[in-house]
């Protein structure tokens, strides 16, 4: 299993002068950490912008600079090298790119003519648009993979379901914190244990990129509801999974405060789709 990665994620000095923010570096680091965590081989893509325009270049967005026979020949050669890797190793898991980049944008890229105001357009950049047959992820999205799994854990059935859901998520390359595996599953606890469990769960919530909450039942578990509320207030995206067909009202699957503060899904397939679009759920951050 391997990914093709925009080279500036591994070496930010390849980027144009002055455009790299601390936030970018955090995303790059965590994307690499995710690959290491799940033993995913990283194969860097070439950077046609760096190779064609040189290392010490000012930022630019006019795509006219790419519309030359010389650049086209370079891009053709670079694409052939990548296609040779794919032919030898099989299809990659995905391409990891950097949005807004004229070359390596995934969902958006800057474009325009010289002297005009930069315009951000939807779609892949000039180079990555040559690989539309390969799925692609934006680096800030791929770097969000740490899940806090909030769920009731008081019966064998509940704990078994939670464990199966955690394994399912880990099989899809998410790092899952499951409170029942950290000591929060025993009936007899003293006050010191309560404080320790609370502190550990709170720490893990703070570190999570997102919360997945199980809200089956006639009403959501109180601890799960608290964790959802805390995450919402902290700007951490919450995805609530409810497989229970009962309704709280004509237009409510569950308590409206929980439903309105989370993205509700009804199956694990819907859950995976929701997790692929984490950035869109960070509007409250």
Q: Can you give the pLDDT at residue 282?
A: 55
Radius of gyration (Cα) for the chain, nearest Å? 22
* Strand (E) or helix (H) holding 62: none
CATH of domain 146-281: 3.40.50.450
Higher confidence at residue 214 or residue 17? 214
Q: Is 41 helix (H, G, I), strand (E, B) or coil?
A: strand
Q: What are the respective helix, strand and coil percentages of the chain, to the nearest 5?
A: 45, 15, 40
Give the mean model confidence (pLDDT) for residues 4-20.
91
pLDDT of residue 196: 87
Confidence at residue 188, expressed as pLDDT on a 0 to 100 scale: 63
Closest CA to 56 of 23, 112, 13: 13
Strand pairing report for 108-111 and 119-122: antiparallel
Tens-place pLDDT, residues 120-165: 788 899 999 999 999 999 999 999 999 999 998 878 888 899 999 9
Number of other CB atoms surrounding residue 273 within 10 Å: 12
Residues 6+ apart with CB under 8 A from 1: 38, 39, 40, 41, 93
Name the CA dihedral angle for 108, 113, 116, 118, rounded to a multiple of 10 degrees: 10
pLDDT score for 281: 53
Q: What is the pLDDT at residue 283? A: 40
Residue 248 or 51, more confident: 51
Beta bridge partners, 97, equal 138
Residue 111, both tokens: 């474009």
The arithmetic mean of pLDDT across residues 191-210, rounded, is: 89
User: Could you give the angle at which helices 222-233 and 191-207 cross, rounded to 10 degrees?
Assistant: 40
- In the chain, the percentage of residues whose pLDDT exceeds 90 is 54
Residue-wise pLDDT for 59-114, tens only, equals 776 667 888 999 999 999 999 999 999 999 999 999 999 988 888 999 888 776 55
pLDDT in tens, 246-272: 666 566 567 778 888 888 998 999 999
Asked if 247 and 253 count as a contact pair (C-beta separation under 8 A), the reply is yes
pTM of the model: 0.82
Residue 285 binned pLDDT confidence (cut-offs 50, 70, 90) = very low
Using the predicted structure, report yes or no on whether residue 189 has a pLDDT greater than 80: no
Q: How far apart are CA 159 and CA 214, in angstroms?
A: 11
Number of neighbouring beta carbons within 10 Å of residue 23 = 9
The mean pLDDT value of the chain amounts to 87
For the chain, where are the alpha helices, taking DSSP H only?
7-10, 22-37, 48-53, 69-89, 139-142, 156-171, 191-207, 222-233, 256-260, 268-275
Q: Where in the chain is the domain with CATH 3.40.50.450?
A: 146-281
- 22-29: Cβ within 8 A, 24+ apart: 24/98, 26/143, 27/139, 27/140, 27/143, 28/139, 28/143, 29/143
């Amino acid at each position: 299993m391997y990914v093709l990665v925009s080279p500036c994620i591994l070496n930010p000095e390849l980027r144009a002068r002055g455009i790299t923010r601390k936030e970018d570096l955090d995303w790059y680091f965590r994307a690499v950490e995710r690959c290491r965590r799940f033993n995913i081989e990283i194969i860097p893509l070439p950077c046609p912008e760096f190779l064609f325009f040189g290392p010490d270049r000012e930022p630019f967005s006019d795509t006219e600079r790419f519309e030359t026979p010389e650049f086209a020949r370079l891009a053709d050669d670079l694409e052939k090298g990548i296609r040779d890797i794919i032919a030898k190793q099989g299809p990659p898991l995905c391409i990891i790119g950097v949005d807004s980049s004229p070359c390596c944008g995934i969902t958006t890229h800057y474009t325009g003519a010289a002297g005009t105001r930069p315009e951000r357009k939807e779609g892949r950049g000039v180079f990555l648009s040559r690989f539309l047959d390969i799925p692609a992820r934006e680096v800030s999205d791929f770097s969000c993979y740490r899940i806090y799994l909030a769920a009731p854990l008081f019966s064998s059935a509940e704990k078994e379901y939670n464990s199966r859901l955690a394994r399912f998520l880990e099989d899809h390359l998410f790092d899952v914190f499951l409170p029942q595996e950290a000591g929060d599953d025993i009936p007899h606890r003293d006050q010191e244990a309560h404080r320790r469990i609370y502190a550990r769960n709170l720490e893990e919530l703070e570190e999570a990129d997102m919360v997945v909450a199980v809200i089956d039942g006639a009403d959501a578990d109180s601890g799960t509801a608290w964790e959802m509320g805390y995450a919402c207030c902290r700007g951490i995206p919450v995805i609530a999974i409810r497989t229970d067909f009962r309704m709280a009202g004509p237009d409510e699957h569950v308590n409206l405060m929980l439903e309105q503060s989370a993205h509700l899904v009804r199956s694990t397939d819907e859950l995976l789709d929701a997790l692929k679009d984490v950035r869109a759920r960070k509007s409250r951050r």
